[in-house]
Chain A
Amino acid sequence: MSHRVRQVFWLTVVWVLLWGTLRPATIVGGVLVAVLVAWLFPLPPMRDPIPVRPLRLLSLASFVALDLLRSGVQIGWETLRGGGRGPAAAIIAVPLLAHSARVVAVLAGAVALTPGSYVLQIDRTRATFWVYALGVGGDGAVERVRREVLVLQRKVIAALGTADELAASDRGLAAARYRSAP
């Protein structure tokens, strides 16, 4: 029940922001619309509560914002420099370290905002997702992208994952490092 109340609260906040005025009529209208939306489109119940880690969330947000800036510059540069053939691209398999829908969704969003890459396919049964990345011409660039996405994934789990997922991701990360080491 409490997640229903929370959904109504946030929908009301969005409604008030959209109107841009904090009048009683706006708030009442927002609550009515929010209740209607929550009743018509119920969200599936979440199995575990969202952990509140504001500092890590802030660190993730600033990391992604910086990444967006870098990716804008990088793609812009590739655009100006690249000839008709186009930049070198790769489709890279990356192990998925957590399984909750929340982490996977945020991770896919964050990868799409990082330089030259987005998630092409997610396969939770194989615990793998595939990243399409541009600008992988140099030696070892594929491994570099794989490592970067793993680090980003670790940050997402640290901000939003449960304690179990965090421990599992650390084990997975150690295993991935061990495998990629020569």
Chain B
Amino acid sequence: MKDIVTSVLLLTGAAASLLGALGLVRFPDVPSRLQAATKPQTLGLLLILLGTAVQVEFESAATLLLVILFQVITAPVLSQIVGRSAYRSGTLRRDTLVVDELADPMARDDDPPGPTPRGGGGGPS
């Protein structure tokens, strides 16, 4: 029974990771590739780790759960940072965009000379 659960989870996870890798090749620009790199990949890793956690003893399973937690916390940070840099550096394919509601405020922000001071010290204000 345990083995069936593990094999289903591992195979589904591997398929999800494969789809993510395929998306990385097939999607046209950085923001959409990011989607392929973060979502099916996170899902795939989660499924593989869960499938492994079923097999090992409790102590090791706790460590695997920790890995899942950190993956879920860090993947969104990465996608936001890279996505914003991609937007700013203009590697976004405009022809696939239906609407861009950020273009107008961004242009207004860039208009005045010098960067606007924002949230000094790195801490949340």
- Which chain A residues have a beta carbon within 8 Å of chain B's beta carbons? 14, 17-18, 20-21, 44, 68-69, 71-72, 75-76, 78-80, 82, 84-93, 100-101, 108-109, 111-113, 115-116, 118-121, 123-124, 126, 128, 130, 132, 134, 136-137, 141-142
- Which chain B residues have a beta carbon within 8 Å of chain A's beta carbons? 16, 19-20, 22-23, 26-29, 31-32, 34-36, 38-40, 42-44, 46, 59-60, 62-63, 65-66, 72-73, 75-77, 79-80, 83-84, 87, 93, 95-103, 105-106, 123-125
Q: How far is the CB of B117 from chain A (nearest CB, A)?
A: 11
B96 and A89 contact, CB distance less than 8 A:
yes
Chain B residues whose C-beta falls within 8 Å of the C-beta of A17 in the assembled complex = 62-63, 65-66
B96 and A20 contact, CB distance less than 8 A:
no
Taking A123-B105, A124-B125 as given, write out 19 further A-B residue pairs in contact, using a Cβ cutoff of 8 Å, ordered by the A residue number: A17-B63, A21-B59, A44-B123, A72-B39, A75-B39, A76-B16, A76-B19, A76-B23, A79-B23, A79-B27, A79-B40, A89-B32, A90-B98, A101-B125, A113-B42, A118-B35, A118-B38, A119-B76, A130-B101
Question: What separation, in Å, do the CA atoms of A108 and B78 have in the docked complex?
Answer: 11
The 5 closest A-B pairs by CB, nearest first: A101-B124, A112-B76, A72-B43, A86-B28, A76-B19
B96 and A86 contact, CB distance less than 8 A:
yes
Question: What separation, in Å, do the CA atoms of A108 and B87 have in the docked complex?
Answer: 17
Q: How far is the CB of A21 from chain B (nearest CB, A)?
A: 6
B98 and A118 contact, CB distance less than 8 A:
no
A112 and B79 contact, CB distance less than 8 A:
yes
Query: Whose C-beta in chain B lies nearest to the C-beta of A118?
Result: B79
B98 and A86 contact, CB distance less than 8 A:
no
Q: How far is the CB of A14 from chain B (nearest CB, A)?
A: 7
Q: How far is the CB of A90 from chain B (nearest CB, A)?
A: 4
Partner of B80, one of A84, A86, A90, A119: A119
Question: What separation, in Å, do the CA atoms of A173 and B115 have in the docked complex?
Answer: 32
Partner of B98, one of A79, A89, A120: A89
Q: How far is the CB of B50 from chain A (nearest CB, A)?
A: 11
Chain A residues whose C-beta falls within 8 Å of the C-beta of B29 in the assembled complex = 86
Query: Whose C-beta in chain B lies nearest to the C-beta of A20?
Result: B59
Question: What separation, in Å, do the CA atoms of A116 and B34 have in the docked complex?
Answer: 10
Chain A residues whose C-beta falls within 8 Å of the C-beta of B103 in the assembled complex = 91
B105 and A75 contact, CB distance less than 8 A:
no
Query: Whose C-beta in chain A lies nearest to the C-beta of B62?
Result: A17
Chain B residues whose C-beta falls within 8 Å of the C-beta of A82 in the assembled complex = 26-27
A108 and B97 contact, CB distance less than 8 A:
no
With a 10 A CB-CB cut-off, give which of A84, A86, A142 has the most chain B CB atoms: A86
